[in-house]
């Protein structure tokens, strides 16, 4: 969103002659807590940034305890230079900030599974370039910290949640490895210490 659009949005948001129209539907957008944590209360919003206490959180399996001091990003597969990056090393890299909307693919009309936040992290593309992604590496798979058991035919398999994005998509400069949300270290419920920020994709692709 450009500066002109933001100024126009701020002007419209604070117009004195406007009146809030009460919600007439039941369910989403009314605040409280749901299966994905706090739900957005549309009627009480007074900023483009969603308050942390109303920002939803969802996970595929569970919300694991991750030791930030021991956390490492493991880069392998079709790369020339496999490596591991610590959280300290990640934070020492060039920093970028993007205000991006996160929405769950299960959100309904006027639902509360959506939020707008200021995300801070470092771009993923330079890291992949340094690792030497091979030309035949056309998909980048992100493995999350949360894990569970899946039954396939008659056997059970423990696995981590994973999601892939095309190498072309993750080369965009707004795809971040994020460690801050709204000026604070990324909370455990939102994937702390690090999660992927993938603008244009539903939350399922923002791997924690």
- Kindly report the CATH number assigned to the domain that includes residue 153: 3.90.420.10
What's the confidence (pLDDT) of residue 14?
57
pTM above 0.85, yes or no: no
Tokens of 146: 């949360």
pLDDT digits (tens, 9 = 90+) for 82-91: 999 999 999 9
Residue identified by tokens 């340094």 is: 130
Residue identified by tokens 């919300």 is: 63
Residue 167 and residue 139 in contact, taking contact as beta carbons nearer than 8 Å: yes
pLDDT at 92 over 90: yes
Task: Quickly count helices (H) and strands (E) in the chain.
Answer: 4, 11
Residue 208 burial (10 A CB sphere; 0-12, 13-18, 19+): buried
Portion of the chain with pLDDT greater than 70, in percent: 81
Show the DSSP H helices in 121-204 as ranges: 125-131, 167-170
Q: Which of the four pLDDT bands, split at 50, 70 and 90, describes residue 21? A: low
pLDDT digits (tens, 9 = 90+) for 105-156: 888 777 788 999 999 999 999 999 999 999 999 999 999 999 999 998 999 9
Q: Are strands 184-185 and 37-38 parallel, antiparallel or unpaired?
A: unpaired
Question: Based on the structure, what is the number of domains in the chain?
Answer: 1
Domain that holds residue 134: 3-205
Non-local (6+) Cβ contacts of 157 within 8 A are: 149, 150, 151
């Amino acid at each position: 969103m450009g500066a002109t659009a933001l100024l126009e949005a701020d002007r419209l948001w604070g117009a004195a002659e406007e009146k809030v129209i009460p919600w007439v539907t039941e369910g989403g957008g009314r605040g409280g807590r749901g299966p994905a944590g706090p739900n957005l209360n549309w009627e009480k919003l007074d900023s483009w940034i969603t308050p942390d206490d109303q920002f939803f959180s969802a996970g595929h399996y569970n919300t694991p305890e991750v030791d930030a001091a021991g956390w490492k990003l493991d880069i392998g597969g079709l790369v020339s230079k496999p490596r591991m990056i610590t959280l300290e090393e990640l934070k020492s890299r060039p920093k970028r900030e993007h205000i991006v909307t996160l929405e769950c693919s299960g959100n309904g009309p006027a639902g509360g599974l959506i939020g707008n936040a200021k995300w801070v992290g470092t771009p993923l593309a330079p890291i992949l370039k340094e690792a030497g992604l091979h030309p035949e590496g056309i998909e980048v798979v992100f493995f999350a910290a949360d894990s569970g058991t899946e039954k396939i035919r008659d056997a059970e398999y423990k696995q981590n949640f994973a999601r892939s994005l095309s190498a072309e998509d993750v080369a965009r400069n707004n795809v971040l490895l994020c460690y801050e949300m709204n000026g604070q270290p990324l909370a455990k419920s939102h994937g702390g210490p690090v999660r992927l920020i993938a603008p244009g994709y539903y939350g399922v692709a923002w791997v924690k």
